[in-house]
Amino acid sequence: MERQEIIAGLVEILKTVRTIDQSRLDNVTEETDFIKDLKTPSTEMINIAAKAEQKFDVEFDDDDIDDLGSKVKDIVDLIIKSKEA
């Protein structure tokens, strides 16, 4: 699965999270920071991770979620790593 395809899928997830400013979703890149750039409440990160597991048919390790960074590339990396596991 291409990284850009994963990012597009993540944006689809973010569109379902109403506490994120939807106007900021037009230019999401690997360097976009969920918390700094999208103003995502930190409590929503676990919801995004859980939705990513379902959308990409993967299961994250709890330790990996604990260590997850707040940039888009961090979750893209985790999805790819989990796909390969």
Contact window for other proteins (CB under 8 A) among 1-9, 23-31, 50-58, 72-80: 50-58
Select the residue interacting with other proteins from 44, 64, 74, 77 (CB under 8 A): 44
Tell me the C-alpha distance between 34 and 58, whole Å.
21
Select the residue interacting with other proteins from 47, 73, 74, 80 (CB under 8 A): 47
- Closest separation between CB of residue 81 and other proteins, Å? 18
Neighbours of 13 (CB within 10 A): 19
Select the residue interacting with other proteins from 2, 26, 31, 43 (CB under 8 A): 43
Short-list 17, 85, 33, CA closest to 57? 85
Question: Is-contact 71 52, C-beta < 8 A?
Answer: no
